[in-house]
Structure 1
Amino acid sequence: MKSKVWLITGSSKGFGRIWAEAALKRGEKVAATARNIDALTELVSQYGESILPIALDVNNRAACFEAVEQAVSKFRAVDVLINNAGFGHFGFVEEISETEAREQMETNVFGSLWMIQAVLPHMRKQNSGHILQVSSIGGVMAFPSLGIYHASKWAMEGICESLSQEVSQFGIKTTLIEPAAYATDWSTSSASHSISIDAYDGLRNAMRANGANMVFGDPNATAEAILKVVDVENPPLRLFLGKFPLMMIEPIYNKRLETWKEWQEVSENAQ
């Protein structure tokens, strides 16, 4: 199988780090971005010229385009883009400030969009490529206290579904990666939080109690799935990661269908 060039955002830790190392281990080239590339020193020491560390804040559109140009200049191509950079913001909808809402959307939506726009001209020229967008189970369902995070992931689900229809003519593939809960720092040190409103404390405390029993996946176990998706000729548009997403999603989708059918007469009369 032909060796590929990967560009992975948010490579300093978590999924990005694991997937970058998985690609490097099997002899691929990786342009790895991070806000602080000192976090990539160990990978550079181990894999040398196979990895290109790039300092990048995806909120800077010009810097996203420059990062892609650096990768192409070094490795002559970008075959796989993984949009992994992002964070989670916790806050009930009434609690979210304007600044918090804008920061969540700037990174999770616009940062991903800028990277996609930057890489597409090169992939079109190659007549090949694969864009993997890290979404979430929270991109297809929603929980209390994560409204603005869900908004960002649902936005990327819509963008990438459109994208897949637009770029398949150029040999470019699109996959939304939808992980469940994993033992990364997503919900701890990497998360941000709104100032709480007392009225929601009852629901907040109940959610904390339920969360104490949550079973987290091993992030290292996801590497094989990512490699498999990158290797197959016809990758899926959407891929869950973990045992629990399908059993959680199926009843929710069934309920949506039931509701639409229940109100079908009202809907048709509105024609």
Structure 2
Amino acid sequence: METQKVWFVTGASKGLGLTLVKDLLREGYKVAATSRDVAALRAEAGYQGSDFLPLQVDLTDNAAVQATVAEIIGKLGGIDVVVNNAGYGQLGTLEELTDEEARKNFDVNVFGSLNVIRHVMPHFRDKKSGAFFNISSIAGYLGTFPGWGIYNATKFAVAGFTEALSAEAASLGVAATVVYPGYFKTNFLLQGSLRTAASPIAAYKEARDLEVLHNDQIIGNQPGDPEKAAAALIRVAAMESRPLHLFLGSDALAMAHSKIEAVQHDLATFEDVSKSTDF
């Protein structure tokens, strides 16, 4: 590489984040990464050199994120690419989940990424370059998954603020991409990455059936390869023109097309109602 780019990856303790960190280090990039356990992250990464900066930080703590960004710039010389990957899944219907459960999911999945963006942007503005990859989910594009409503909402929020960021920062030389992964063979569906409602209600058949489907059929049979997902992100980051929307996995692509077709159907079917509200 002509220049040694610096990547900042949040949520790197496992799954896609960890895979991406390992691949980046192997390809010669500088990498700063956050985890709840720095020692475990360093051990899992298998890298002891100075180009790797593992960090333990509470991403929901605005001041802590500000200090972390300053530390990365000071120790690694800057930041070129940010991957906002930290987050967790929260199962439970809208009635089942408490206000506390819902807000915690938003705190991590939404406000954690906003804290990172807020404190990286001054650096990107100064150097008039930079790229954000904000990890949403296919559930942030297609929301008809019963029992996933709050998680869906957090991922729709990621898509919404990424679209706005891409427009706000375009003239500053900064790109923003919202990433919609489908099902990848990581530990996302396992305990620790996926939380269930503290007080489930048996009457919600569709939500319970989908939980059983995930536990009995989807876990272990996810079609996506995290190594290939990491390679795709590295490839797109090197492009001169990056997409605003990036769907990862043939399943995500199929579900996105399904959503588009459903919206087009409703637009055509109810066009007269839509137009009837004009003066």
Residue 206 of structure 1, CA deviation: 2.8
Deviations 1:181-225 (A, max 9, x none): 11222121211111210211x324432454334340222221210
Deviations 1:103-138 (A, max 9, x none): 000010100001001100001111110001011101
Partner amino acid, structure 2, of 1:258: H
What residue is the counterpart of 1:129 in the other structure? 130
- The reply to whether residue 264 of structure 1 matches residue 268 of structure 2 is no
What residue is the counterpart of 1:107 in the other structure? 108
Deviations 1:45-101 (A, max 9, x none): 624101011111111111111111000001121001110110000001110100001
Relative to structure 1, is the Cα distance of residues 90 and 25 closer, same or farther in structure 2, using a 3 angstrom cutoff? same
Percentage of matched positions with identical amino acids:
36
Give unpaired runs (5+ residues) of structure 2.
none
What residue is the counterpart of 1:51 in the other structure? 52
Distance in 2 separating the partners of 1:43 and 1:14? 11
Partner amino acid, structure 1, of 2:118: Q
What residue is the counterpart of 2:11 in the other structure? 10
Worse-matched range after superposition: 107-116 or 46-55: 46-55
Counterpart secondary structure, 2:7: strand
Partner amino acid, structure 2, of 1:268: K
Q: Is the 8 A contact 1:43 1:51 kept in 2?
A: no
What residue is the counterpart of 1:207 in the other structure? 210
Q: Is the 8 A contact 2:86 2:108 kept in 1?
A: yes
Residue 233 of structure 1, CA deviation: 0.6
- The reply to whether residue 193 of structure 1 matches residue 196 of structure 2 is yes
Distance in 2 separating the partners of 1:123 and 1:14? 27
Aligned counterparts, 1:56-95, within 5 A: 56-95=57-96
Worse-matched range after superposition: 127-136 or 34-43: 34-43
Distance in 2 separating the partners of 1:79 and 1:117? 15
Worse-matched range after superposition: 162-171 or 187-196: 187-196
Aligned counterparts, 1:104-183, within 5 A: 104-142=105-143, 143-183=145-185
Q: Is the 8 A contact 2:7 2:32 kept in 1?
A: yes
Give unpaired runs (5+ residues) of structure 1.
none
Query: Aligned pairs, how many?
Result: 270
Q: Is the 8 A contact 1:88 1:186 kept in 2?
A: yes
Q: Is the 8 A contact 1:71 1:77 kept in 2?
A: yes
Distance in 2 separating the partners of 1:16 and 1:243? 20
Q: Is the 8 A contact 1:34 1:57 kept in 2?
A: no
User: Under a length normalisation based on structure 2, what TM-score does the superposition of the two structures give?
Assistant: 0.92
Partner amino acid, structure 2, of 1:221: K
Q: Is the 8 A contact 2:22 2:45 kept in 1?
A: no
Distance in 2 separating the partners of 1:252 and 1:167? 28
Residue 41 of structure 1, CA deviation: 2.5
Q: Is the 8 A contact 1:129 1:171 kept in 2?
A: yes
Partner amino acid, structure 2, of 1:191: L
Q: CA RMSD in A?
A: 1.5
Between Structure 1 and Structure 2, which shows a larger proportion of helix residues? Answer: 1
Counterpart secondary structure, 1:57: coil
